[in-house]
Amino acid sequence: MITSIFEDMISISSHISFPKVQWIVWSFVLLLLFGIYLQNDSFAEAATYAIITTLFYAIVIYGNAMWLIPRLYKKEKRTAYILLIILFLIVVTIGRLQLQNALYLQFFSKGKPMPTKDTSYYVMYYLSYFLSSILIFIFSIAFHLSIEYFRVREQQQLLQKRTAEAELKLLKSQVQPHFLFNTLNNIYFVAQRESPDTAVLLERLSNIMRYFVDEGTKDLIPLTTEINFIYDYIHLEKLRMRHPLQVQFDIHGEPDSLLIPPMLLIPLIENVFKHGIDKRYENNFLVAIITISEESLDAVISNRIYRSELKSGSGIMNLTSRLQLLYGSRYIFETSEKDALFYAHLNIPL
């Protein structure tokens, strides 16, 4: 039954937002409880009990789904979670009964004979309310799963939207790319005869442009393609340097068979040339160390500090947004400063 209800909620949510679905469900629950209580109680009494019951149901559902599960169950604190759930349900059940009894005695008991029941009756009475709390607790687990579903779906939709926007921008920037590549090839063959160094630069520029056109729109590309793109980018950036740039680029592990999303590493390298290099000085350097294991790819980029690395521009901010969309909480991206050096550390699962 619970599964069916949430399947209906998911179907409805394709047309309306998840918060609106919740309001609709809670309104239905309130009206249903009101109808049940109205069979034996007055209108005011039924309305009061329906509101109280709905309120305590909401406390159980939201308390478990949005507080206990994220803070205890998902952090592997299973024993503490079970103990707190039992305590939580007992407190909620007693609180609900005490409130209902107090309101009954204050407003609804006039003219009604006080029931005389034995102890076993009250035990069963409290137990029935506790069992209803357990049932609502089970429902709260399904509710939490629905929250996770909508969160993941929203992230996927946002990622698809950003991907579509990026592809549109890329298409707008591709003014007859094949014509441009053919022209570059013609210039390359001429330069190869007249100036071999210029020909090499044209080849690297052509590689970079082909990367944006052919690889930039893919979901995954070979890690070696990303690394070759970085090599070409560094080589072209070094042309602007007044003094030689010291570059250390080490790769530990075997990258040949690995696939990663495009443009994940280049923003870190680009950030070095934007903020970590001063062309007036001779001792500029860039160190990039990539370590590949069975579980993850780890990259550490370091450079000297010449200006505030915190103002790292849209490239790093876009990278952070992409990492969040692609990996959720399964990645590490952090920056630090030590001994006049700036470090950027990225770790992604493979």
Q: How far apart are alpha carbons 150 and 102 in whole angstroms?
A: 40
Task: Give the per-residue pLDDT at 250.
Answer: 93
Least Cα distance to 240 among 192, 210, 288, 274 occurs for: 274
- Given a contact cutoff of 8 angstroms between Cβ atoms, the answer to whether 216 and 263 are in contact is yes
Type of residue numbered 118:
D
Which pLDDT value is given to residue 118? 62
Q: Tell me how far apart the alpha carbons of residues 287 and 343 are, in angstroms, rounded to a whole number.
A: 10
265: pLDDT strictly greater than 60: yes
The SS3 assignment for 303 reads strand
pLDDT at 344: 93
Asked if 346 and 298 touch (Cβ cutoff 8 Å), the reply is: yes
Residue 157 to residue 155: CA distance in whole angstroms: 5
- Average pLDDT over every residue of 274-286: 82
Average pLDDT over residues 165-175: 61
Examine the pLDDT at 95 and tell me if it is beyond 80. yes
- Domain limits, the chain: 2-170, 175-215, 219-349
Summarize pLDDT for 24-79 with one digit per residue, the tens.
888 888 898 888 888 888 888 889 888 988 998 888 888 888 888 888 877 778 88
Lowest mean pLDDT among 110-114, 307-311, 327-331: 307-311
- Asked whether residue 326 carries a pLDDT value surpassing 80, the answer given is yes
Task: Yes or no: say if 236 and 205 are a contact pair by the CB < 8 Å rule.
Answer: yes
107-164 tens-digit pLDDT: 777 766 655 566 666 677 778 778 888 888 888 888 878 778 877 888 888 888 887 7
The token duo for 332 is 């590490």
- Mean pLDDT for 217-239 is 86
- 139/60 Cα distance (integer angstroms): 9
- pLDDT value at residue 177: 57
Contact 204, 236 (CB under 8 A): yes
Q: Residue 195: its pLDDT value, please?
A: 66
What does the alpha-carbon distance between residue 312 and residue 226 come to, in Å, rounded to a whole number? 21
- pTM > 0.75: no
What is residue 13's predicted lDDT score, i.e. its pLDDT? 45
**Dihedral Cα 25, 27, 29, 35, nearest 10 deg:** -150
Residue 229 one-letter amino acid: F
Whether CATH 3.30.565.10 fits 219-349: yes
